Amino acid sequence: MHSIAPWRRLLAEFLGTALLVTAVVGSGIMASTLSPNDIGLQLLENSVATAFALGALILTFGPVSGAHFNPVVSAADWFLGRRTRTGLTGTDLTGYLAAQTAGAIAGSILANLMFDLAAVTFSTKDRAAGHLWLGEVVATAGLLLLIFALARSGRAAVAPAAVGAYIGAAYWFTSSTSFANPAVTIGRAFTDTFAGIAPASVPWFVVAQLGGLLVGVGLLLALYPSVGTTAGEVVVEKTADEPLSFCVEESP
């Protein structure tokens, strides 16, 4: 199925996830510097920068790897497509998860260094609360519904804008500010800045995101019973003279 070399797809996932986390963390640091006394404005600056960066990164890396940048997207792609042998294989999934997690950590380190901070500064920002975990379930399930509904309905051309818009909006309508991504959650523990999350809070955020994965996959199967047949559309492999089929994120 895959015409693009595995190492190229893994490199795209690593770079895309790294740059996504760099955008999230870097814009958070800049927002804190420019608007030190206005948390609402800081969140606005952070969310707008993240949404635009995400759309651009999907366009950049989508033709190589599908621009998942997110373990729950990759896991859903593997699960939904396994019966019809579309989407990611088990080997692909393992590689994607490793590349995304390593990329997220590298992205935080890069952002720290760009703003003259220590390479690794573990966050002290506690985010352990039930309502935050519920926000992560909602954000993650909604992201999966959007991505796979677009693939199923043939509206792939709007994916970069739609996914970026969803994540930007979810910053505001979820209590957790929509991490919706286990790799990004781990990466953001490596920076004690606006976008950070304390290492002790990471496991429960990841559990909530996996809960969102289960909810999202369940809803997809209920709404689109044949969604597995289009799982391959979430892994973009196009030559330069072919139109972009589909590319998907992650989320901060």
**pLDDT tens, position by position, 24-68:** 999 999 999 999 999 999 999 999 999 999 999 999 999 999 999
What whole-number distance in Å separates Cα of residue 132 and Cα of residue 127? 7
What whole-number distance in Å separates Cα of residue 34 and Cα of residue 202? 28
**pLDDT tens, position by position, 184-200:** 999 999 999 999 999 99
Minimal CA–CA distance to 179: which of 252, 126, 73?
Answer: 252
pLDDT of 243 reads: 37
Structure-model confidence comparison of residues 243 and 114, the more confident one: 114
pLDDT tops 80 at residue 240:
no
- Locate tokens 């089929």: which residue? 245
178 Rama class: left (phi>0) / alpha (psi -120 to 50) / beta = left
pLDDT of 73 reads: 96
Torsion of CA 66, 95, 13, 222, to 10 degrees: 40
Q: How far apart are the first and last CA of the chain?
A: 30
Q: Stretch 67-85: mean pLDDT, rounded?
A: 92
Q: Stretch 234-240: mean pLDDT, rounded?
A: 48
Please say whether the beta carbons of 250 and 169 come within 8 A: no
Minimal CA–CA distance to 57: which of 112, 104, 90?
Answer: 104
Residue 47 tokens read as 């969310």
Minimal CA–CA distance to 194: which of 89, 81, 79, 41?
Answer: 41
> Phi/psi at 205 (nearest 5 deg)?
-65, -45
- Locate tokens 């759309």: which residue? 55
pLDDT of 151 reads: 84
What whole-number distance in Å separates Cα of residue 99 and Cα of residue 88? 14
Residues 6+ apart with CB under 8 A from 218: none
Please say whether the beta carbons of 181 and 251 come within 8 A: yes
Q: For the chain, which residues make up each domain, given as ranges?
A: 6-234
Going from the C-alpha of 108 to that of each of 75, 121, 252, the distances in angstroms are: 23, 9, 12
Q: Stretch 179-183: mean pLDDT, rounded?
A: 98
Place 233 in a pLDDT band, splitting at 50, 70 and 90: low
Q: Which of 1-5, 59-63, 101-105 has the lowest mean pLDDT?
A: 1-5
pLDDT of 2 reads: 58
- pTM score > 0.85 for this model? yes
| Numbers of helices and strands, H then E, in the chain | 8, 0
pLDDT of 246 reads: 38
Q: Which CATH superfamily is domain 6-234 in?
A: Glycerol uptake facilitator protein. (1.20.1080.10)
Structure-model confidence comparison of residues 151 and 223, the more confident one: 223
Place 202 in a pLDDT band, splitting at 50, 70 and 90: very high
pLDDT tops 60 at residue 245:
no
